[in-house]
């Protein structure tokens, strides 16, 4: 077994160490979206500075750059074969570019996915192999952790996912675990192609936050780990409120919290203007509206303010964002549509919870954004099953806000069927942790939690009536 340095781009900073086995040099191959349906980014790692990408469209080979390359002029619904050669190692992959379905693309969302206890991995790989899903979004906290064991954990995680993400786009957002290497280096280097392509085209020049369209959905990735500025909109207290600010500034894409909000508003303005073509706007990141504090280990576990979500809440409400997908809590939570807190303080309840627009699994013409937490695909950390036992044990700010809660393992699949109907299906892949068997038995939940967001009363401009 030989050891070599893993590099995402020739001459760039090494991500970590790869164990080269059975002569295999090329590893961790994964695709991502670009700003056009006729192009995809492919990234890989290899312990050599001599790599070449060839891809074939109708028997017309094209040559790309090394480590991170764009394959363009790809036909819709067409099969693309691509070959990566690094030294004496050659590997061949294929994928269907922008598969066309009557009911739209099927996008998997999950967060907090570890290499140990990866309960959902087998199901995900089976779905990808059967072309039953079209892309994967991971909303932060990868591998547990990318950096561990000199990057061997991160490398193994990416290699395990490779059968999925070498054939389907893989879109990331950072979580708090990505900050643990001191500068988000593992995250930014492994997804350099996202920053250089979709980040550039969406005007963020970053892989911390960016946006792109897939069919009828405008996706917006946000970074909840640098935090907001208290009173940003009112220009009051400019105190930083999240502990990963310094790590963000040490990254290759440093930014101030207000820069992200300014970018987000500009992006939402463009998306709103295009809503007659792309009607659905979905944000995703690591944390949601109710995760703005954590126990202070040095002060009797009193609540300590962390992520300030009020800036995101204000913009999501103003520009009528339909759905927020996140993780961080290792459970499944589906909330009623609501307007989050206006003040950044511990245990702040929502300004309004909108229940009258929800009838069973139908969310019809709701005015506020719906939040879904899908943070339980499996990892080695204990889940927070207690939050699903009953509202007498949950934090006071979320009492009466959840339409559904499950402590079991699983992930969700998103599907914009048409301009008025968007489907979300959460699929359980395993029971809750046996370490929590002392908890009262949860009410039995169905294997699939399915909801429909329906907006059939939009104006001609695409806004809600």
Q: What is the pTM of this model?
A: 0.89
Alpha helices (runs of H) in 167-256, residue ranges in sequence order: 185-190, 192-194, 200-201, 245-249
**Domain 1-99 matches domain 101-454 at the CATH topology level:** no
Q: Is pLDDT at 72 greater than 50 in this prediction?
A: yes
Q: Where are the domains of the chain?
A: 1-99, 101-454
- Residue 328 CB contacts under 8 Å (≥ 6 apart), including other chains: 111, 112, 140, 141, 175, 176, 286, 287, 288, 291, 373, 375
Q: Is pLDDT at 384 greater than 90 in this prediction?
A: no
3-state helix, strand, coil in the chain (%, to 5): 20, 35, 50
In this predicted model, what pLDDT tens digit does every residue of 16-54 receive, in sequence order?
333 334 457 899 999 999 999 999 999 998 887 778 888
d(CA 125, CA 222): 26
Q: Looking at residues 264-269, what average pLDDT do you find?
A: 98
Q: Is pLDDT at 6 greater than 70 in this prediction?
A: no
Q: Looking at residues 226-250, what average pLDDT do you find?
A: 56
* CATH architecture for segment(s) 1-99: Sandwich (2.60)
Q: Give the lowest-confidence range in 38-52, 116-130, 289-303.
A: 289-303
Strands 370-374, 51-57: pairing is unpaired
State the average pLDDT for the chain: 84
Q: Is pLDDT at 112 greater than 50 in this prediction?
A: yes
Q: Of residues 59 and 262, which shows the higher confidence score?
A: 262
| Highest averaged pLDDT of the listed ranges 1-5, 163-167, 228-232 | 163-167
Could you tell me the two tokens for 399? 């009492």
* Domain 101-454 CATH assignment equals 3.60.21.10: yes
Q: Give the lowest-confidence range in 13-17, 353-357, 452-456.
A: 13-17
3-class secondary structure per residue, 27-61: EEEEEEECCCCCCEEEEEEECCCCEEEEEEECCEE
In this predicted model, what pLDDT tens digit does every residue of 409-459 receive, in sequence order?
999 999 999 999 999 999 999 876 544 444 444 454 446 899 999 999 988
d(CA 138, CA 411): 10
Measured torsion, CA atoms of residues 400, 406, 407, 411, in degrees rounded to the nearest 10:
-130
């Amino acid at each position: 077994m030989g050891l070599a340095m893993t590099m995402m781009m020739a001459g760039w900073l090494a991500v970590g160490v790869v164990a080269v086995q059975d002569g295999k040099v090329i590893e961790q191959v994964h695709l991502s979206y670009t700003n056009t349906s006729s192009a995809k980014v492919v990234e890989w790692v290899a312990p050599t500075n001599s790599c070449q990408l060839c891809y074939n469209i109708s028997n017309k080979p094209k040559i790309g750059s090394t480590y991170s390359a764009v394959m363009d002029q790809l036909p819709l619904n067409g099969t693309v074969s691509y070959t990566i050669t690094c030294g004496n190692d050659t590997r061949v992959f294929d994928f269907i570019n922008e598969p066309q379905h009557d009911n739209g693309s099927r996008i998997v969302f999950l967060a907090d996915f570890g290499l140990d206890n990866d309960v959902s991995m087998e199901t995900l790989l089976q779905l990808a192999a059967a072309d039953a899903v079209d892309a994967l979004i991971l909303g932060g906290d990868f591998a547990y952790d990318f950096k561990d064991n000199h990057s061997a954990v991160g490398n193994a995680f990416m290699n395990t996912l490779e059968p999925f993400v070498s054939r389907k786009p893989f879109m990331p957002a950072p979580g708090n675990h990505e900050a643990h290497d001191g500068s988000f280096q593992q995250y930014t280097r492994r997804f350099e192609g996202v920053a250089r392509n979709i980040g550039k085209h969406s005007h963020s020049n970053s892989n911390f936050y960016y946006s792109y369209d897939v069919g009828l959905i405008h996706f917006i990735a946000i970074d909840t780990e640098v935090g907001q500025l208290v009173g940003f909109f009112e220009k009051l207290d400019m105190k930083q409120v999240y502990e990963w600010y310094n790590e963000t500034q040490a990254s290759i894409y440093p930014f101030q919290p207000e820069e992200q909000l300014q970018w987000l508003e500009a992006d939402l303005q463009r998306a709103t203007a295009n809503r007659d073509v792309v009607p659905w706007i979905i944000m995703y990141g690591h944390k949601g509206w109710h995760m703005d504090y954590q126990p202070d280990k040095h002060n009797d576990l009193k609540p300590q303010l962390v992520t300030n979500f009020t800036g995101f809440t204000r913009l999501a409400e103003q520009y009528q964002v339909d759905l927020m997908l996140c993780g961080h809590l290792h459970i499944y939570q589906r909330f009623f549509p609501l307007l989050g807190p206006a003040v950044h303080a511990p245990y702040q309840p929502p300004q309004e919870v909108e229940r009258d627009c929800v009838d069973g699994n139908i969310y019809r013409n709701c005015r506020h954004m719906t939040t879904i937490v899908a943070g339980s695909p499996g990892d080695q950390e204990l889940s927070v099953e207690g939050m699903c036992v009953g509202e007498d044990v949950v934090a006071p700010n979320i009492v009466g806000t959840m339409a559904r809660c499950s402590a079991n393992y699983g992930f969700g699949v998103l599907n914009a069927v048409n301009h008025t109907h968007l489907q979300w299906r959460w699929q359980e892949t395993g029971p809750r942790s046996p370490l929590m068997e002392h908890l009262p038995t949860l009410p039995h939940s169905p294997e699939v939690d399915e909801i429909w967001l329906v907006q059939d009363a939009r104006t001609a401009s695409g806004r809600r009536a």
